[in-house]
Amino acid sequence: MSGSAKPPRILVVDDDVGLLVLMAEVLRSDGFDVDTAGSGTAALVWLAEHTPDLMLLDLKMRDLGGAALLSRLRQAASPVPFIVVTGQGDEKVAVDVMKQGALDYVMKDSGMLDLLPAVVRRALGTLAQEKALAKAYAESRRLESKVLEIGELERRRIGSDLHDGLGQQLTAIELLCAGLKADAGRAQPEFSRRLDQMGKMLREAIAQTRFLARGLVPVSDEPDALQAGLAELAEQVNSLGSLKCRLDCPSPVAIPSRVAAGHLYRIAQEAVNNAMKHSNASQVTIRLADTDACVELRIWDDGKGITGAKGRGLGLEVMKHRAAVIGAELTVISKRGQGVTVACVLSRNP
């Protein structure tokens, strides 16, 4: 043990007083901070006021068995990591308890006290690795979310520049062409014809600019913008004529988070695009529903379902990633010949 670091705190629970004392002495001599409880009830009282780094738990105690004690502890917000201590012939019981979350088990035999410090250190090492991995995963998720947020802000900036900058300039040039045509009048018919052509090309360019801007910023800042964006998505799909797209939104759905609304829109957009490209569907439905607990986005089609490599495509992975970033749960259900259902559930109380 490092002299500067605070030693791990171990709680030893066993109703065999002699063995309890020996286990505590062995662990203290190895540098651990050890507390003891001579019964399951005493352990519950101690745990109500303290939190050990690790607990050694006898499976068979007279007042409250290890299994019953663990059942009580599972109801706690922060369950205590533990190692089970068991007698000869109870290996199957120990293995069953390990399936319920035990880090390891140690047998009550002649070599137990010699092995105990190493078993405890191994369990603490496992816990340290799990904490480090959890911390690294949380940091990875935070950075991914930040990258996506920055990307979304950049898309919004470019979209705003297209709409308010380039779009306005093109509109001004179109008006200038209209003024020049009025000045030319009938005296210069060829010039007027060319100005008509320029005006038409400018109107097409303005429409394309607005389309690009809308694609970069599909959801505005208003709380009900997702519903409006999905309605426009359905209209765009219907205008193509390849399949029918319907938005089912029984009541207004307000999503305060602009980032979450943007990711939900992109998930719906990807699901609809997949239906158009791969499913041979004739109809796709987008459903947006709201409850006190969650927002549910569901997209389903009547196509042939996901087959082969399409089931492992990049689009599905991107949808799953977007859902994970906002803390939503995404499921994809497909049956051959019965279409695809994409469901994304975002909890209002993460």
Q: Note the maximum CA span of the chain.
A: 117
**For the segment 307-331, what is each residue's pLDDT rounded down to a tens digit?**
654 545 667 888 888 898 888 999 9
Weakest-pLDDT range from 95-104, 212-221, 274-283, 288-297: 212-221
Q: Could you write out the three-class secondary structure of 84-116?
A: EEECCCCHHHHHHHHHCCCCEEEECCCCHHHHH
* 3-state DSSP of 286-333: EEEEECCCEEEEEEEECCCCCCHHHHHCHHHHHHHHHHHHCCCEEEEE
Q: What confidence tens digit (pLDDT) does each residue in 120-129 have?
A: 999 999 999 9
Starting from the edge strand earliest in sequence, which strands make up the sheet with 329-334, in order? 244-248, 283-290, 294-301, 340-347, 329-334
Look at residue 63 in the predicted model and tell me its pLDDT.
80
Is pLDDT of 244 > 70?
A: yes
Per-residue pLDDT at 216 exceeds 70: no
Whole-number pLDDT of residue 101: 81
For residue 241, what are its two tokens? 């004529």
CB burial of residue 9 (10 Å; 0-12, 13-18, 19+): middle
Q: Quick check: 213 pLDDT over 80?
A: no
Instruction: Report yes or no: 55 and 13 within 8 Å, Cβ to Cβ.
Output: yes
- The alpha-helical segments, DSSP class H, found in 37-87 are 40-47, 66-73
User: How many angstroms separate the Cα of 297 from the Cα of each of 250, 268, 330?
Assistant: 12, 8, 9
Closest listed residue to residue 33, CA positions, set 48, 50, 53, 58: 53
DSSP 241-282: -SSEEEEE-SS------HHHHHHHHHHHHHHHHHHHHHS--S
Residues near 87 by beta carbon (within 8 Å), at least 6 away in sequence: 59, 60, 107, 108
Tokens of 102: 């035990």
84 and 59 in contact (C-beta within 8 Å)? yes
